[in-house]
Chain A
């Protein structure tokens, strides 16, 4: 029972923190310089990680699809299917996992350190609003940077796929890319982008909240980082399902029939 209550407490705390952040974004002056600095920092820091992860994800997807499609002699569709699967689903999911490890844990460690060394209280003492000065730039920075990182990761996944298609399945790159426009529709890409945006929102909220509410020295920082990593991963998987589900319902309503 206590675990359930503490879980609800955490959820409520996170949502109220999100509300505070949104209020700060809309009603107070944005620190444009700091926001751009954060976007740049997050993108540069995580770029190699996401690019590498994307490359290998594309390669894995191609190997797996190649094995199955070989049985049906449908290797012509290999590129299209692997690309579509990566763009719609696996790419955003795995890149969000990477970001939750890299950016989420890093931000929460940074904010946690600031909190336990009382730097955040110092900012407040100087008459500035810590939400406006520290939290909001990171929040916006993570969300904007995640789109750039997603683009980089997906581009690398196509390269990985082409390479493995050539080496493993014997499909050259023209053949690999030929059916892509047939299967990857703008809606697919939009799905991926919406998913990525949702994951980034969840990630940014949780890591700033956990960092901001750290207490108890070095051990507390460690604890809040672990909590961030675990919570973001769970929330990302759940949000993945929810966006798929809600997107499906919305598309059905727009089209007027079930495909």
Chain B
């Protein structure tokens, strides 16, 4: 499901051994993923049939649920990562004791750096046929799309590539409730007819409705199965909710027991990043956030959104090793700029910081200059030595340059490009040129 890209120049692990991955705010589009047991709960409450499963966190509970179900069961690890089948996170049991044994093992099994939240004990279904039902956004058409395939159980991308005629699709309006007939049309595109069409139609329509109702960015049932007795049940489900919608989806999140502070990011935030969030939370003025840790020696105090992306690339292009990523903007207070700079300057291994932004029109050059210089002085560091370069042109730049002059900090205006400024910072930290203020 998820494609993990190699990372040639990056550290694949941070100091404490956790894999380095961006927080979800750095990914596009940001979304909160649900565990399978939560996703199944969501489809169930919207009237989509599911099996009589149980979510448990201990081996004893697993035994109880397996005994209640009777017969063979499937024990599935509840982790927010793919590849759990391959990793041994899905096991089959014939007896309650066997279910308990598997649960005990799976609860201890780390998959791709994730420990499971618990296990799902599911009746082993007598499957006649597997289908796929999904709903997703189409950013170009700006509408959601229903998807259906009669080849379920495998990735829909693979089906679409190898058997395009087995994937039905249909865009629907955001202004009215997704109609049932559209679900029927989408399913019929795959050649499905008879009672299967009749049973699958309300399921796809309900999936589309819950997708809209709960602000999902992805809602998938895979596989949706037809049992030997002809009934349809959702055997696995995957849901992602848009982060921006969390404030208005509090009710369902509360029902599912998802706490406000649960970010469900690709990895846990590091101490450094948590400290960065605290800096951003100091006051309501401006932003000094989205701090992400790397293990280089050049600290970055950069902004704003697009400027940060450009500058991080620029530092790397010239061989620099960033110690962090961050985004400042929206005219932060002196205290906030100071707090962020102190955090970065205090990070072990950081030799210098580069303070750079694209031309600012809201954020003030003099305010940021005060903040970063203050950070140096409070840490008993010389701003002229620690600030490799200050490149923030724009609002109040003349005032800012006066401050930088007084403390001997090297700075440049808009005539020096973002890339040139980044190159200068890298040269200075690598000792290719003497430090100190330029003429």
Partners in one complex: no
Q: Which residues of B contact A (CB under 8 A)?
A: none
